[in-house]
């Protein structure tokens, strides 16, 4: 049972760490509904609802004719395109599906505008992309590896813009020109930005691609541009998402569960437990004694884990308080320092001796005469004392005396 509890506790700690430190999704367009923020244009697909061999539309797969059907979609709908300048690839920007209109362009776009990103840092993009072809290859004007180009270039390009700045590429796909005529049936990621595919190949199975977005601001626009002028140049996208990974912040405060300790406790006793205040949920911390303002008595203490411990047994009468300086550092080495005053509680300690001012008396003095005055030795300053005659060893003649105040 103890092992199970330990495992559950460790899993909870891991989940808290993930929540506080890992990427957090804040926007998506699954194509099963409108985007979770901003505006998508075109908002809905155009074209006919019957299966079409030339298309640019939202689809569940039943309204398009694909030579190589796509698999691996998430949800019901995805956006697909083929042969953009052919009949049926037009679209409407809002409302219900409209009649097909011909697109005059081989390049068509989807734009997402007005996505709020104020206060978000560590931005990144993820999306599912697929593309395939059969007898109609994806073209490329660049010679690429073959040394021979074509008259036009086919591509899939995802871009972003922050606060109205020019668009920057997130990910681009071109053919690699590996065939004899400089063309290829497939698209590959262009990892070096030279307009030739050299990375991961797109297939009819949706693959997820992740890219970092440089910078931040208030409003982000996203778009995809696709050039497809031939039949069987089939492509699709699904489940576009944006994430943030908040920057690790330094701890903002440091506390100690107790700042006082009783005198005479054993050496190595714990004064209190240290804890940190940090905006980042799930951060872990290490504690140390550091030099600086208020570190006068650091040598009198040690830290074990989060426990502040005193090195030697304290004595109020010798030293009633200590000043130490402690540092907390998170797993990213960001830190905060604070000075603490550790007070020693004064306990009432047993008197250590008893004195009598005179221990002899003349014979024949009157009854009730004072023999001497009693006094006590005690480490506790300003203590008051009472005196009594008690039974025990040496009490044989107690009955011959009385005590009044401190007078025997």
Judge whether residue 167 has pLDDT over 80. Answer: yes
Compute the CA torsion angle 275, 276, 280, 286 (nearest 10 deg): -80
Span 148-165, mean pLDDT? Answer: 90
Which two tokens mark 181? 């005529």
Beta strands of 151-233 (E only): which ranges? 155-162, 168-174, 188-189, 207-212, 219-227
- Partners of residue 107 on adjacent β-strands: 227
The closest alpha carbon to 403, from 361, 374, 375, 378, belongs to: 374
Q: Return the closest-CA partner of residue 256 out of 276, 270, 282, 274.
A: 274
CA nearest neighbour of 76 among 57, 61, 56, 54: 61
pLDDT at res. 5 = 42
**Is residue 12's pLDDT more than 60?**
no
How far is it, in rounded angstroms, from Cα 238 to Cα 240? Answer: 6
Q: What is the pLDDT of residue 90?
A: 60
**CA 343 to each of CA 272, 321, 381: distance values in angstroms, whole numbers, following the listed order:** 12, 4, 18
Give backbone dihedrals phi and psi of 213, rounded to 5 degrees, phi first: -105, 120
Beta bridge partners of 375: 355
pTM (predicted TM-score) = 0.62
Q: What is the pLDDT of residue 104?
A: 64
- Mean pLDDT of the chain, nearest integer: 85
Q: Which residues on adjacent β-strands are paired with residue 285?
A: 330
pLDDT band at 146 (very low <50, low <70, confident <90, very high): low
Mean pLDDT of 94-106: 52
Residue, of 233 and 98, whose pLDDT is higher = 233
Counting Cα atoms < 13 Å in the Cβ hemisphere of 191 gives: 7
Q: Give the span between the Cα atoms of 55 and 225, in whole angstroms.
A: 15
């Amino acid at each position: 049972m103890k092992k199970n509890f330990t495992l559950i506790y460790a899993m909870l700690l891991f989940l808290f760490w993930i929540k506080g430190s890992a990427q957090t999704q804040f926007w998506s367009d699954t194509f099963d509904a409108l985007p979770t923020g901003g505006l998508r244009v075109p908002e809905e697909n155009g074209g006919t609802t019957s299966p079409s061999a030339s298309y640019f539309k939202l689809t569940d797969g039943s309204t398009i004719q694909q030579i190589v059907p796509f698999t691996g979609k998430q949800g019901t709908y995805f956006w697909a395109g083929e042969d953009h300048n052919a009949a049926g690839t037009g679209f409407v920007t809002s409302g219900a599906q409209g009649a097909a209109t011909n697109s005059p362009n081989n390049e068509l776009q989807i734009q997402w505008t007005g996505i709020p990103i104020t206060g978000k840092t560590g931005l990144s993009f993820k999306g599912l992309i697929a593309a395939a072809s059969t007898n109609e290859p994806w073209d490329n004007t660049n010679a690429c590896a073959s040394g021979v180009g074509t008259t036009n270039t086919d591509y899939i390009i995802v871009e972003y813009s922050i606060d109205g700045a020019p668009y920057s590429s997130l990910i681009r796909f071109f053919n690699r020109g590996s065939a004899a005529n400089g063309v290829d049936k497939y698209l590959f990621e262009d990892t070096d930005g030279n307009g030739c595919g050299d990375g991961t190949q797109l297939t009819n199975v949706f693959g997820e691609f992740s890219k970092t977005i440089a910078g931040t601001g208030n409003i982000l626009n996203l778009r995809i541009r696709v050039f497809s002028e031939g039949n069987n140049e089939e492509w699709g996208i699904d489940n576009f998402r944006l994430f943030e990974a908040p920057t690790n912040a330094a701890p903002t405060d440091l506390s100690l569960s107790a700042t006082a300790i009783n005198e005479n406790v054993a050496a190595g006793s714990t004064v209190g437990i240290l804890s940190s205040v940090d905006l980042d949920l799930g951060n872990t911390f290490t504690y140390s004694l550091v030099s600086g303002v208020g570190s006068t008595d650091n040598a009198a203490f040690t830290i074990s884990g989060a426990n502040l411990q005193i090195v030697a047994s304290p004595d109020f009468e010798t030293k009633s308080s200590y000043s130490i300086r402690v540092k907390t550092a998170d797993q990213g080495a960001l830190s905060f320092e604070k000075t603490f005053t550790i007070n020693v509680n004064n306990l009432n300690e047993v008197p250590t001796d008893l004195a009598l001012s005179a221990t002899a008396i003349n014979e024949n003095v009157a009854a009730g005469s004072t023999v001497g005055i009693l006094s006590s030795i005690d480490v506790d300053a300003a203590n008051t004392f009472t005196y009594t005659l008690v039974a025990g060893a040496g009490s044989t003649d107690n009955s011959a005396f009385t005590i009044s105040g401190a007078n025997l």
